[in-house]
């Protein structure tokens, strides 16, 4: 992993430059040389961890209904809508693909429909990461603090709290966010790029937290993320973000 800051995380493998959460996207992100790759996990009816974003199948696959209603063999008979040669990847396939690379993994534990948690998924994920020797190279993320508490109990060494804009607004201050993070033993936050500025970043860092951004997809959002004192940001356009960071470091005006 390079020591460049902020680090760049290919969101869902780089969802605007490749087909989100597909093996092709993870190969693409690995080839770009980004510092991290982000992806989401759900669980099938028979307990297999699989990589896709939504709790339901309609948007990205040829299937219907909740991911958790299908067995793995049923899920694997589906196709990705935007990559018909591929099906929904298993967690193991993605770990196998990324293990030989130097890339950091940023794995989001998703709830099912209605934010219903998959009981015990945290320990199951940690076990798989350990088996592939990837536990130390992974940050587990969630919008739900109880998921991160259970991930800590299961032995995940680093956890990042994705702060939804509504949560940020209702808690209101960096101190309040930091208190919740501390109670859940989380050392790193991710905030929506449009809800961050230098004052928020400074206040959160002063409170002892690592700060990153998510959803920096447009050029202006990427440039904003690059200009703030962030640890990392996620983007659907990792190639564009790498180019803009390189141009910035070279002191040249960045453009497409
Ligand atoms: Fe995600």
pLDDT digit string (tens) for 156-212?
999 999 999 999 999 999 999 999 999 999 999 999 999 999 999 999 999 999 999
Q: In this predicted structure, what is the pLDDT of residue 8?
A: 98
Residue 1 lies in a domain: no
pLDDT of 172 reads: 96
Predicted confidence at residue 1, as pLDDT, reads 43
Neighbours of ion ligand 1 (CB under 5 A): 40, 108
In-domain check, residue 255: no
Q: In the structure encoding, which two tokens stand for residue 32, read together? A: 């770009």
Which are the contacts of 140, defined by CB distance < 8 A and separation ≥ 6? 107, 108, 109, 122, 125, 148, 151, 156, 158, 159, 160
Which parts of the chain have pLDDT scores under 70? 1-2, 252-256
Taking the C-alpha atoms of residue 69 and residue 57, their distance in angstroms, rounded to an integer, is 10
The answer to whether the CB of 72 falls within 8 A of the CB of 106 is: no
**179 located within any domain:** yes
CA of 232 from ligand 1 middle (Å) equals 14
Give the CATH number, domain containing residue 86: 3.20.20.190
Contacts of 52 (CB under 8 A, 6+ apart): 21, 40, 42, 60, 61, 67, 88, 89
Confirm whether 216 is domain-assigned.
Answer: yes
β-bridge mates for residue 26, sequence order: none
Give the relative orientation of helices 145-154 and 121-131 as an angle to the nearest 10 degrees. 50
What's the pTM? Answer: 0.96
Per DSSP, the three-state class of 189 is: strand
- For residue 78, the CA-to-ligand 1 centroid distance in Å is 21
What is the 224 CA–ligand 1 centroid distance (Å)? Answer: 20
Task: Give 214 Cα–ligand 1 centroid separation in angstroms.
Answer: 9
Q: How far is the CA of 187 from the centre of ligand 1 (A)?
A: 18
Q: Which residues are identified as catalytic? A: 11, 53
Predicted local distance difference test score (pLDDT) of residue 251: 85
Element (H, E) at 51: strand 49-51
Domain-located, residue 2: no
Q: Which domain holds residue 246?
A: 7-250
Half-sphere exposure (CA, 13 Å, Cβ side) for 166? Answer: 2
Over the chain, what is the mean pLDDT?
Answer: 96
Q: Spell out the residues 6+ positions from residue 72 whose beta carbon is closer than 8 angstroms to its own.
A: 44, 46, 48, 50, 90
Number of domains into which the chain is organized: 1
Kindly provide the b/e burial profile for residues 77-97, where b requires at least 16 CB atoms within 10 angstroms of the residue's own CB.
Answer: ebbbeebeebbbbbbeebbeb
Centre of ligand 1 to C-alpha 141, Å, is 8
256 within a domain of the structure (yes/no) = no
């Amino acid at each position: 992993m390079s020591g460049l800051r902020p680090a760049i995380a290919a969101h869902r493998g780089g969802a605007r430059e490749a087909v989100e959460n597909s093996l092709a996207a993870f190969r693409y992100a690995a080839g770009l040389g980004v510092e991290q790759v982000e992806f989401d996990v759900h669980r099938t009816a028979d307990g297999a961890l699989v990589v896709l974003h939504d709790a339901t199948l309609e948007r990205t696959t040829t299937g219907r209904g909740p991911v958790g209603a299908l067995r793995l063999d049923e899920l694997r008979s589906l196709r990705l809508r935007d990559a018909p040669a591929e099906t929904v990847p298993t967690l193991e396939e993605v770990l196998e693909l990324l293990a030989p690379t130097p890339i950091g993994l940023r794995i989001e534990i998703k709830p099912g429909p209605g934010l219903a948690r998959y009981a015990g998924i945290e320990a199951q994920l940690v076990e798989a990461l350990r088996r592939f020797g990837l536990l130390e190279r992974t940050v587990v993320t969630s919008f739900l603090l109880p998921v991160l508490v259970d991930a800590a109990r299961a032995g995940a060494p680093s956890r990042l709290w994705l702060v939804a804009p509504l949560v940020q607004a209702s808690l209101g201050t960096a101190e309040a966010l930091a208190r919740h993070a501390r109670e859940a033993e989380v050392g790193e936050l991710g905030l929506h790029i449009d809800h961050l500025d230098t004052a928020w970043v400074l206040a959160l860092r002063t409170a002892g937290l690592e700060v990153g951004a998510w959803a920096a997809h447009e050029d202006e959002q990427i440039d904003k993320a690059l200009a703030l004192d962030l640890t990392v940001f996620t983007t659907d356009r990792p190639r564009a973000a790498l180019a803009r960071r390189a141009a910035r470091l070279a002191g040249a005006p960045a453009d497409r």
